[in-house]
Amino acid sequence: MWPHGKLQHILLLAFCCIMAMTVVMPLNLHAQVDGRVVVRPLLDPTYDRFTFDLIIKRTSPRWTFFGNTTIRIESVDLSPTGGFNPAVHQLTFIPDSSDLNLVAYNPASMNGYFVDYRLLDGDVVVHVIGPDSVSDAHNMATTQDSIRIGRFIVTSNDGSYVPEQLAMARPLDYYQASAFKIDHDSVTGTGADRNVWFVKQDNPPLVMEYDELPPPPDTCGARFNFYGQYVGDLNVMLGFDVSDEHCYEGFIIERALVNRARLDSLDFQGRAQLTYLNEPRLLGCRCLEPQVHDSLFDKVEYRREVYAYRLIGQRLPFYGDSLEIIDTIFIQVPNAIISNARILENPFKTKTTVRFNADDRLLLTAKVFDIGGREIAILENEKGQPVVNMEYPLGIGYEVTFKAPDIASQGLYNILLLAFPINDTSVTEGSRVIIKAQLLR
């Protein structure tokens, strides 16, 4: 007695062979072709694999419900040396890629489709076994006369290159066969007997054409968006978006200090933390999907300077094995660390508010002097605390308040904001902002 698994395999092959013999018809017996099987290679950047879709299109109104098919595909480049080798190549089917209702194979009763796929005699062989009843068959009209059987991947297990050019195996009349289901479950039943089982399959043959599409052009036309900004504490944050990076092993970001006397020459230097050899986030994914590489930081040495950054891509060996300059950006490290300082009420009677932005993390002292240079008051923050060497993070819309003391007479006063960046020994003088304020009594 055959083991159950072997018996099932024999039944499957026998069914497929019967279908192949049943549905084969010379192409010249029909004036019109019923359908088209399309083999569509996809752009797959991985050297040791390739991906392709199998698609069936309806071209004739003679049928609506898809029954089954047998398709055999060969490698154009490997065929002279024996084709795909099961010892080297592996065939994978992605079930979620199919438009068909896939079920487990059951020779006694099928209520959906089963896809059997394998490498056989150097070729890719795909059998699609359909359901028993037309009520479970795929209606082509619901998918614009086209269905995708599924997506398949051929991979080499030794790292060797897998060529992507495919062709239908010849002779067609021996290997290729397709069938459709009539619109009821019996070839002889009428009226109330239409659902009586006289012939289980009811699968008339289809006359098919076969399209072998070439692989899409593999160009390195990625689109990049390289960006950066100063984020305080002498830190620059960098990042870039890319539409696809399948041509790149990884990326490098270099830096140059812009010399105002030699604007025509930039001396770019590598940054140890900004190379894919040291920073995993700069490695290429070798994929076609958009990627984001952000939150990459660089510590600069000088304030009041402009730094240039350039993004470089390292191409994979299959795509040139070269360095490619992608883009260059320029980032200004702020000169002043206080900006947009302004008084909100002027003239004022008892108190007024100064609003400002901190362009870096800083220590702030805010005082008021009369026109004779005497200190009159210390401004307060929103908690009523005196602003003397008070730390402020980088941010916008900070407010400090001047409350005029009773001894202050009507007249003009100077509000002084004096700020020093934190942890920056290159700055010996702070940023000063002086605002004239008029007190009315």
E strands along 76-145, which residues?
A: 89-94, 114-120, 123-129, 138-139
The CA-based angle 317-321-322, given to 5 degrees, is 165
Distance, in Å, from the CA atom of 16 to the CA atom of 175, rounded to the nearest integer, reads 10
Burial of residue 129 (CB within 10 Å: 0-12, 13-18, 19+) is buried
Are 177 and 243 in the same domain? no
Query: What integer pLDDT is reported at residue 309 of this predicted model?
Result: 97
Are 316 and 354 in the same domain? no
Q: How far apart are the first and last CA of the chain?
A: 113
Calculate the alpha carbon distances from 135 to 56, 104, 152 in Å: 20, 18, 28
Q: Which residues face 227 on adjacent strands?
A: 239
What are the two backbone dihedrals, phi and then psi, of residue 5, each rounded to the nearest 5 degrees?
-65, -40
* Residues 6 or more apart in contact with residue 145 via CB below 8 angstroms: 57, 58, 59
Are 59 and 128 in the same domain? yes
Tens digits of residue pLDDT in 172-208 = 877 899 999 988 777 555 666 565 555 656 788 999 9
**Are 176 and 210 spatial neighbours (Cβ–Cβ below 8 Å)?**
yes
Side chain identity, residue 50: F
Query: What integer pLDDT is reported at residue 23 of this predicted model?
Result: 40
Q: Pairing relation of β-strands 362-370 and 411-421?
A: antiparallel
Residue with tokens 């609003």: 355
Say whether 169 sits in a helix, a strand or coil: coil
Q: Pairing relation of β-strands 351-358 and 338-343?
A: antiparallel
Helix/strand number for the chain, H first, E second: 2, 26
The rounded Cα 114 to chain-centroid distance in angstroms is 32
Say whether 245 sits in a helix, a strand or coil: coil
Are 328 and 384 in the same domain? no
Distance, in Å, from the CA atom of 35 to the CA atom of 146, rounded to the nearest integer, reads 9
Residue 217: DSSP 8-state: P
Distance, in Å, from the CA atom of 181 to the CA atom of 190, rounded to the nearest integer, reads 16
Phi-psi sector, 19: left (phi>0), alpha (psi -120 to 50), beta: alpha
**Longest Cα pair distance anywhere in the chain, in angstroms?**
115
Q: Which residues face 151 on adjacent strands?
A: 53, 94
Q: How many domains in the chain?
A: 3
Residue with tokens 């089917």: 93
Distance, in Å, from the CA atom of 18 to the CA atom of 177, rounded to the nearest integer, reads 10
Are 137 and 207 in the same domain? yes
Among residues 332, 347, 370, which one ends one of the domains?
332
Question: Across all residues in the chain, what is the average pLDDT?
Answer: 87
Tens digits of residue pLDDT in 35-83 = 999 999 998 878 889 999 999 999 999 999 999 999 999 999 999 999 9
Query: What integer pLDDT is reported at residue 289 of this predicted model?
Result: 87
The answer to whether residue 218 is domain-embedded is: no
Query: What integer pLDDT is reported at residue 97 of this predicted model?
Result: 96
Query: What integer pLDDT is reported at residue 24 of this predicted model?
Result: 39
Are 35 and 138 in the same domain? yes
Q: Pairing relation of β-strands 323-332 and 338-343?
A: unpaired
For residue 382, give the CATH number of its domain.
2.60.40.10
Q: Which residues face 153 on adjacent strands?
A: 51, 92
Say whether 434 sits in a helix, a strand or coil: strand
Are 232 and 369 in the same domain? no
* Residues 6 or more apart in contact with residue 264 via CB below 8 angstroms: none
User: In tens digits, what is the pLDDT along the chain, a chain of 441 residues?
Assistant: 334 443 344 334 433 443 433 343 333 444 589 999 999 999 887 888 999 999 999 999 999 999 999 999 999 999 999 999 999 999 999 999 999 999 999 988 899 999 999 999 999 999 999 998 888 999 998 888 999 999 999 999 998 989 999 999 988 877 899 999 988 777 555 666 565 555 656 788 999 999 999 988 888 889 999 999 998 888 999 999 999 999 999 999 999 999 876 767 889 999 999 999 999 999 999 888 899 999 999 999 888 889 999 999 999 988 889 999 999 999 998 777 888 999 999 999 999 999 999 988 889 999 999 988 899 999 999 999 999 999 999 899 999 999 999 888 999 999 999 998 887 666 556 788 999 999 998
The answer to whether residue 219 is domain-embedded is: no
Tens digits of residue pLDDT in 334-364 = 777 888 999 999 999 999 999 999 988 889 9
Are 55 and 161 in the same domain? yes
The answer to whether residue 289 is domain-embedded is: yes
The answer to whether residue 104 is domain-embedded is: yes
Phi-psi sector, 190: left (phi>0), alpha (psi -120 to 50), beta: beta
Are 287 and 350 in the same domain? no
Distance, in Å, from the CA atom of 3 to the CA atom of 297, rounded to the nearest integer, reads 63
Q: Which domain holds residue 37?
A: 4-212
Query: What integer pLDDT is reported at residue 188 of this predicted model?
Result: 57
Are 354 and 316 in the same domain? no
Is the omega angle on the peptide bond into residue 86 within 30 degrees of 0, that is, cis?
no
